Amino acid sequence: KAGVTQTPRYLIKTRGQQVTLSCSPISGHRSVSWYQQTPGQGLQFLFEYFSETQRNKGNFPGRFSGRQFSNSRSEMNVSTLELGDSALYLCASSSSRGWSTGELFFGEGSRLTVL
């Protein structure tokens, strides 16, 4: 079956702009999580959505937001971009059965560069 699909794969923005990233999970997976990956900090948890509700949230400022639709597709938005937001943004989906053991299936990521 198809894997996790993230769009766009690459994008360049300037400071102050906003960006929206999209994620389509594996069919049947209802949990979608977002992570930010940078060389210095590694993978840091942004938030997790399950059945259109935000279930968990990491320690990121309010400029980072997300949502999940009824078909489990998810979007994340970053407003008022800063240089430090340059990173690889990874989306991961999980089935309900797998989540208790934290098994995630990742997309290839969206690489955001802020100039």
Question: Which positions touch other proteins (CB under 8 A)?
Answer: 4, 33, 35, 41-45, 48, 50, 55-56, 59, 90, 92, 99-109
Residue closer to other proteins by CB (options 87, 92) is 92
Residue closer to other proteins by CB (options 70, 100) is 100
Rounded least distance, CB 15 to other proteins, Å: 25
Rounded least distance, CB 7 to other proteins, Å: 14
CB 46 within 8 A of CB 36: yes
SS3 letters for 33-92?
Answer: EEEEEECCCEEEEEEEEECCEEEEECCCCCCEEEEECCCCCEEEEECCCCHHHCEEEEEE
Rounded Cα distance between 44 and 36, Å, is 5
- 3-class secondary-structure state, position 8: coil
Rounded least distance, CB 83 to other proteins, Å: 21
Rounded least distance, CB 37 to other proteins, Å: 9
Residue closer to other proteins by CB (options 14, 56) is 56
Rounded Cα distance between 107 and 23, Å, is 8
Residue closer to other proteins by CB (options 16, 61) is 61
